[in-house]
């Protein structure tokens, strides 16, 4: 059983602006701590056998300058890999590298030897997409990813992630994450009405209402 409220509250969320090669980009930033040594967290986010346990299978030339591909998801170029502190990659849903979409993960040692993970996803986003979904469009996905990492570091393995994603537990987490990203959006300057519209659209995308019983 996962303590959904505790897992949601473990993450600090922000959204903002960042200059990208192609113009002004948007950012989502997440921070949370893990009760694990920095070397263990680093291995979990860079070792292909570990990554497939909590995220997705990954393949490619997994070294600086090489390319990676997550099964059924993003791929890109490995820009920086500085063990056990910094990993930066391009993040593209297509065949070409896109310098206008990057993910950077930084690890540091916190209190009581905890590991603090800071993740920033910066990208140029179509205005209509940001207007409709805001930071939750990718923020909810990253929340789910960091939850998977937290469970793996505790030795908890969800074998069928798709099936878990249909559970009431997952739905509660997704809805809570969407609401929290709405709060981050409003804190960054969005109106309450615009932030709420994004929350509703994001929630419908990630956790649509179940079909009526027959």
Q: Selecting from 3.30.530.20, 3.40.50.720, 3.30.1360.120, 1.10.260.40, what CATH number does the domain 4-206 have?
A: 3.30.530.20
Q: How many CA atoms lie within 13 A of 106 on its CB side?
A: 8
Q: In angstroms, rounded to a whole number, what is the distance separating the alpha carbons of residues 96 and 155?
A: 36
Whole-model pTM: value is 0.95
Q: What are phi and psi of 200, to 5 degrees?
A: -65, -45
pLDDT tens, the chain, 214 aa long = 799 999 999 999 999 999 999 999 999 999 999 999 999 999 999 999 999 999 999 999 999 999 999 999 999 999 999 999 999 999 998 777 788 999 999 999 998 899 999 999 999 999 999 999 999 999 999 999 999 999 999 999 888 888 999 999 999 999 999 999 999 999 999 999 999 999 999 999 999 987 776 6
In 84-191, which residue ranges form alpha helices assigned H by DSSP?
127-133, 136-153, 161-164, 168-187
Domain boundaries, the chain: 4-206
Q: What are phi and psi of 181, to 5 degrees?
A: -70, -30
Q: In angstroms, rounded to a whole number, what is the distance separating the alpha carbons of residues 90 and 97?
A: 7
């Amino acid at each position: 059983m996962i303590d959904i409220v505790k897992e949601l509250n473990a993450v600090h969320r922000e959204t903002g602006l960042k200059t990208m090669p192609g113009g002004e980009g948007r950012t989502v930033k997440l921070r949370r701590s893990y009760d694990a040594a920095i070397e263990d967290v680093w291995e979990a986010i860079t070792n292909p056998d570990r990554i497939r346990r909590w995220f997705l299978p990954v393949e490619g030339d997994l070294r600086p300058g090489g390319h990676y591909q997550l099964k059924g998801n993003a791929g890109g170029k490995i820009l920086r890999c500085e063990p056990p502190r910094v990993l930066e990659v391009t993040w593209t849903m297509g065949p070409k590298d896109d310098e206008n979409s990057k993910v950077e993960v930084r690890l540091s040692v916190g209190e009581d030897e905890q590991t603090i993970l800071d993740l920033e996803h910066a990208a140029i986003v179509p205005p209509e997409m940001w207007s409709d979904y805001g930071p939750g469009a990718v923020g909810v996905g990253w929340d789910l990813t960091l939850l998977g990492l937290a469970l793996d570091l505790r030795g908890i393995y969800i074998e069928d992630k798709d099936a878990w994603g249909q559970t009431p537990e997952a739905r509660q987490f997704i809805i809570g994450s969407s609401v929290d990203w709405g709060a981050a959006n409003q804190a960054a300057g969005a109106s309450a009405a615009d932030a709420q519209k994004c929350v509703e659209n994001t929630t419908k995308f990630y956790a649509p209402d179940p079909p009526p019983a027959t």
